[in-house]
Structure 1
Amino acid sequence: MANLTEQSCEACRVGAPLATTEEIAQWLPQLTDWQIVNVDSIDRLTRTYQFNNFVDALTFTNKVGELAESMGHHPALLTEWGRVTVSWWTHKIKGLHKNDFICAAKTDAIYPSLSK
C-alpha cells in the first residue's frame, strides 16, 4: 500500500463510488488527528491545526489553498487567530473519496513546516 502523501488525486465524476468502510479503515490510520464529521448528512474529514498567531494560521491557509489548486480538489477552510480548521470531502459525490484522504495527508505534510 502506497503512502497517501505519495499519491495524486484522480478526476472524480458524479456517481463515482464513495470510500468503503474497508477503505476508510485502511486510510484513516495514516492521518494524524483527523475525524470523520457528518455535516448535513455528508461525511467530511476534518482537523483543526494550532498556531501561535494569526499570521502563521493565514500562511498555512494559503499553502493549503495552493495544494488544493494543484490537486484540483478544494476543502472548506476556517482561519481564526491561532488555528485553522480544514474539511475535505468530495462535493460531486456528497461524501468521502480517496482524494479526500490523499489531500488530508498532504495537508498534514505542510503543517510541520509552519507550526512552532
Structure 2
Amino acid sequence: MTNETALAQQACEACQVGAPQVSEQELPELLAQIPDWVPEVRDGVMMLERVYTFKNYKLAWAFANKVSELAEQEFHHPAILLEWGKVTVTWWTHAIRGLHRNDFICAAKTDQQLDD
C-alpha cells in the first residue's frame, strides 16, 4: 500500500472553527504522500491544488462529476474549475482558513477518481 493509498483509506472528520491547521512539521510529510498536489496561498489561506488534464471536455466533465460525488460523500467541498480538457481541484478547510488533514485525505481520494 502506497502512502497515497493509505491516506485515501482514512476518513474525514468533522472540522469546526478552532480545529488545528496542519503544522509546518506535518506539511512536508503529508505533501510527500500526494506528490502531484501543490500548496498555494490565496488571500493568506493555504490551499492544495492540482490540475488534471484530459483528451476532451466530456472526459473532464465526467471527472469533475466524480469529484463532486466524492465531496458530497465526505461532506467536504473543494473548488472545481472545469475547462476544455482540464479540471482544477482546490481543497482547503473554510472553517479554519487553511489546511486540515481532511484536505490531504480528500486530495488522495480525488487522485483515486482517475482509476474509477
Query: What TM-score results when the alignment is normalised by the length of structure 2?
Result: 0.93
Q: Given the alignment, which residue of 101, 111, 114 partners 1:111?
A: 114
For the residue of structure 1 that corresponds to 2:113, the secondary structure is: helix
Separation in 2 of the partners of 1:6 and 1:60?
20
Instruction: Provide, for residues 40-73 of structure 1, a one-character-per-residue CA deviation record: whole Å limited to 9, x for no partner.
Output: 1100000000000000000000000000000010
Residue 101 of structure 1 is matched in structure 2 by 104
Find the counterpart in structure 2 of residue 15 from structure 1. 18
**Alpha-carbon distance in structure 2 between the residues aligned to 1:32 and 1:104:** 10
Aligned to 1:84: 87
Aligned twin of 1:67: 70
Superposed CA RMSD: 1.3
* Moved beyond 6 Å, runs of 4+: none
Match of 1:106, as an amino acid?
K
Gaps of 5+ in 1: none
**2:39 alignment partner, SS class:** strand
3-state SS in 2 of match to 1:3: helix
Contact 1:32 1:108 survives alignment (8 Å): no
1:42 aligns with 2:58: no
The whole-number CA distance in structure 1 between the counterparts of 2:84 and 2:18 is: 38
Are residue 55 (structure 1) and residue 29 (structure 2) matched? no
Question: Percent identical across equivalent pairs?
Answer: 52
